[in-house]
Amino acid sequence: MSSIAKAGAVVYAKDIARVSAFYKSTAGLDAVRSEADHVVLESPAFELFVVAIPEHIAASIELADPPLRRTETPIKLIFTVASIGAARTAARTHGGELNPPEREWQFQEFRICDGHDPEGNVVQFREFVC
């Protein structure tokens, strides 16, 4: 085991199975551990911990269908993917959504597109372009 930890983030969720499936499918992360209260997803350089919101707090949270984006947060996860188009399809399949292609933009060497996971957490996907 390496003594250098990977970069990582935590996403709190009401439905950890659904949110984990979204990130596995859209960001290409592998599930390496699954417990009743959390799932650990990873790539060679990153770990995402999807942690269950405690029941007494989760009971007061209502999620819209389709989910409303939680734009009032100072944090946005960013994942580099092979294809924004494939991530867009996977997002729809797993309860999230990416903006349409006309809302993509280019910054540095990436094509970029924002979206949200099944619980409305804003996430960004970027695809390397030559």
| Domains of the chain by start residue, with CATH | 7-53+69-128 (3.10.180.10)
Confidence of residue 38 (pLDDT cuts 50, 70, 90): very high
Q: Which residue has the higher pLDDT, 45 or 3?
A: 45
80-130: pLDDT as tens digits: 999 999 999 999 999 999 999 999 999 999 999 999 999 999 999 999 997
- Which whole number is the average pLDDT over 43-70? 93
- Give the residue with greater pLDDT, 13 vs 74: 13
pLDDT band at 1 (very low <50, low <70, confident <90, very high): very low
Average pLDDT value over all residues in the chain: 94
Q: pLDDT at position 130, please?
A: 77
pLDDT of residue 4: 67
Q: Answer whether 76's CB lies under 8 Å from 124's CB.
A: yes
Nearest Cα residue to 22 out of 45, 2, 1, 48: 48
pTM, 2 dp = 0.89
CA 23 to CA 96: how far, in whole Å? 10
Would you place residue 19 in the very low, low, confident or very high pLDDT band (cuts 50, 70, 90)? very high
